[in-house]
Amino acid sequence: MAVCDTCGNDYDKAFTLTQGERRGVFDSFECAVQAMAPQCTHCGCRILGHGVETGTQIFCCAHCARRAGADGVADRS
């Protein structure tokens, strides 16, 4: 069995997730999201979709990007 990198659970159905050079072992998608998904620069929520990027910052939506001072951003549709 493998131990989850997020919660420490020793689980027989754990999986490995690789993102570029990052790699982790997780027992659930919830734990994988907590460890691997980026956080919105403005509100701090985990970004599960495409998000909005401005320079080196990433936001969950255009609203948060505008609240943080970004200009000319729009949500993707």
Query: Which domain range does residue 29 map to?
Result: 1-36
| pLDDT at site 76 | 67
Going by the DSSP 8-state scheme, the letter that residue 50 receives in this structure is: -
Tens-place pLDDT, residues 41-63: 999 999 999 899 999 999 999 99
Domain count across the chain: 2
Question: What type of residue sits at position 43?
Answer: C
Residues 42 and 76 in one domain: yes
Q: Which residues contact 50 (CB under 8 A, 6 or more apart)?
A: 76
**For the residues 60-68, what does the mean pLDDT come to?**
95
Tens-place pLDDT, residues 1-51: 799 999 999 999 999 999 999 999 999 999 999 999 999 999 999 999 989
Residues 23 and 47 in one domain: no
Residues 43 and 14 in one domain: no
End-to-end CA distance of the chain: 41
| pLDDT at site 24 | 98
Question: What type of residue sits at position 14?
Answer: A
